[in-house]
Amino acid sequence: MPPRTANPSARHTELLEAAYAYVLVHGLADLSLRPLAEAVGSSTRVLMFLFGNKDGLVRALLARARADELGLLAELGGSERPVGLAAAAERVWAWLAADEHRPLLRLWAEAYARSLVEPEGAWAGFARSTVDDWTDVLAACQPQAERDSEDGAVRRTLTLAVLRGALLDLLATDDEGRLTAAVHRHLAFLRSGHGDG
């Protein structure tokens, strides 16, 4: 039976949120339905009914994680006047570096890597969607003339690479001070080299 997600029931939403809290702690790599069902107060049968199969549940969890990520991006793109690439990247890094976001970011890193090495199934397209989401929001934060130029595309690509690399190092080392200094050095380069605010 296919998963029933078009108009999710209250129970579907409740179990998805509980499963999401579970994978933020335990990750997705060794996800098994039986311990998950026990942890969220359900049964494997109910999870299969609501999500179709394990891949359906993983897809729903990845979509839920992406919703948190997109919430941040929506905040950045919310003003009528573009804030500028450096200002946007500074806000993004402050969010990425906050201790309370580590569980979500570990989940993101796991899903990103799995999407690269297992490009079919539940993980399909996750890494590419993430790159597109972040590139789009950084573009929206640039003034239009910069956004539409080849140099503007290169600058946001470099900025995304710096943020993503610093995030991976942060997850590996927990050395927030060193990585924040490195990100701020890049932002200073953006501001001094191109007058970005």
Report the amino acid identity of residue 131: V
Alpha helices in the chain (DSSP H): 10-26, 33-39, 44-51, 54-76, 85-97, 102-117, 126-140, 144-147, 150-173, 176-194
Give domain status of residue 86, yes or no.
Answer: yes
pLDDT the model gives residue 197: 44
Give domain status of residue 3, yes or no.
Answer: no
- The domain tally of the chain equals 1
Residues 6 or more apart whose CB falls under 8 angstroms from that of 166 comprise 93, 96, 179, 182, 183
> What CATH number is given to the structural domain containing 190?
1.10.357.10
Across 32-60, average pLDDT: 90
Across 116-137, average pLDDT: 88
What confidence tier does 78 reach under pLDDT thresholds 50, 70, 90?
low
Q: What is the pLDDT of residues 149-171, one digit of tens each?
A: 999 999 999 999 999 999 999 99
Tokens of 95: 């969010």
Give domain status of residue 117, yes or no.
Answer: yes
**pTM to 2 decimals?**
0.79
pLDDT at 24 over 50: yes
10 Å CB burial of residue 50 (0-12, 13-18, 19+) is buried
Domain that holds residue 160: 10-194
pLDDT at 194 over 90: no
pLDDT at 195 over 50: no
